[in-house]
Structure 1
């Protein structure tokens, strides 16, 4: 969301939640406006649902009550609206980050937990600076003068993993192919492998390696991420060549959740995954 008029990730997330409740109720926007009464128009409700307008707790409460939401559900979403909006922290990098990825970065900062599967390269959140630098320098879609700043952003994202006050709970699965892909010099790979081992020993991080000997899994189409929030329902994210898909519907997210369970079952257990990476170091 580099554009100044675009909603922040927090406003977008609240809007998604509001629309979920309205869809669940079966009410149209005009019907909700009629039920709420004074102070709400169809245009305003549309902006609340898209996040193009800041959602105040009192507006959220009135709309959700009209949609038949329970008191605890209303409290959960109004609490989210009362949070300080930290989702725009990446603004300093907005000139090198496309809007669709900026949305993800903002949502990631708001998330309590994350599951990510990466079959081709080591996930960005757990990359070392040298690995990230080598990877971006080889990419044809990254301008040379943008490479350093993209690496800086990646490292800033990774700080959540060791934040003593608000650490992100991360479960990541990656394939043996991703681990075996040579990125940079041998010393870059050794440093990266050691970094993965160090992270995987932290209490908030789980690493699992997917190997062909363990059989098929339910994520054959590739990379995806599921973000879990304290005050909102989960969002699934799939990165494309030139954009991204955000799955917010309950059924859509459930499909990706099932894939996370399949990967966790098929992949090597966490301890065996650490041993697998240790063996890779010996063969560099």
Structure 2
């Protein structure tokens, strides 16, 4: 993937805006005072902090310095603003994604590392086309006519096998994911074999957390952590009609701690592979 393919302006603006708001809050500067400092109205600064409007590098630098942010923070936030100002990479299949999810797609393209905890299905980065089709095939949010394109869009987003900059992905899935028969035995066997092959890659770490573990930190909701080379991480939590994008340091640190605790309670990579192999044998006996 070329560097110019990483520039999704809406995602970058979100990162810039979140960083500006976090720095302002930490400095205890009111939005009104910050806006006056750069000749903005409070409303215009609010749009800037939400990433809904373009952010000039000069204004970003002025604000970060007003907030007495460390020099390295000023540098990376300004560099992101410069990149966002250089153009937009239109994401493919935009017409089948809701607006709130398009932002995630842009952020995912920028991420260097991703952690995902899921209790329903394998992470999208690890899915086969037939499995993805079965996952989205009975969704209230996706019209039947868009199912094939939506599934293909999920496959097109995959970066785990990218030759240049593969996504580093760690994932913990509930044991129930192995027993939820999306698409039937043939589709599941193909998915299992695909996952086992991906697990041989150095950038993939997949673990199963046994049902026998009982209560644990992830049960309240699935989540994704995205980490970037040039910015602080983001925690992403999806619900039926939208998603939360958390970038406050305390929030991200909490989800990072949960990710570590889930990984500790999950099976080893070797035992996870054995659990998947046992499902393959079970499925083949059903055919």
Normalised by the length of structure 1, the TM-score is 0.89
Match of 1:255 in 2: 254
3-state SS in 2 of match to 1:19 = helix
RMSD: 2.0
Stretches of structure 1 that go unaligned for 5 or more consecutive residues are 1-6
Match of 1:266 in 2: 265
3-state SS in 2 of match to 1:95 = helix
Separation in 2, partners of 1:279, 1:87: 46
Separation in 2, partners of 1:88, 1:263: 35
CA 1:56 to 1:146, structure 2 compared with 1: closer, same or farther past 3 Å?
Answer: same
Q: Deviations over 1:52-111 (max 9, x none)?
A: 222232221111001001111111112222336787542x42221111111111111111
3-state SS in 1 of match to 2:55 = coil
Contact 1:87/1:107 (8 A) holds in 2: no
Stretches of structure 2 that go unaligned for 5 or more consecutive residues are 1-8
Contact 1:175/1:209 (8 A) holds in 2: yes
Separation in 1, partners of 2:192, 2:262: 21
Q: CA deviation at 1:236?
A: 0.9
Q: CA deviation at 1:140?
A: 4.2
Separation in 1, partners of 2:198, 2:33: 51
| Count of aligned pairs between the two proteins | 274
Match of 1:171 in 2: 170
Match of 1:4 in 2: none
Match of 1:199 in 2: 198
3-state SS in 2 of match to 1:8 = helix
3-state SS in 1 of match to 2:166 = coil
Match of 2:111 in 1: 111
Aligned pair 1:243/2:245, yes or no?
no
Match of 1:136 in 2: 136
Separation in 2, partners of 1:136, 1:88: 25
Q: CA deviation at 1:43?
A: 4.3
CA 1:89 to 1:280, structure 2 compared with 1: closer, same or farther past 3 Å?
Answer: farther
Separation in 2, partners of 1:87, 1:261: 35
Separation in 1, partners of 2:122, 2:143: 21
Match of 1:127 in 2: 127
Q: CA deviation at 1:259?
A: 1.2
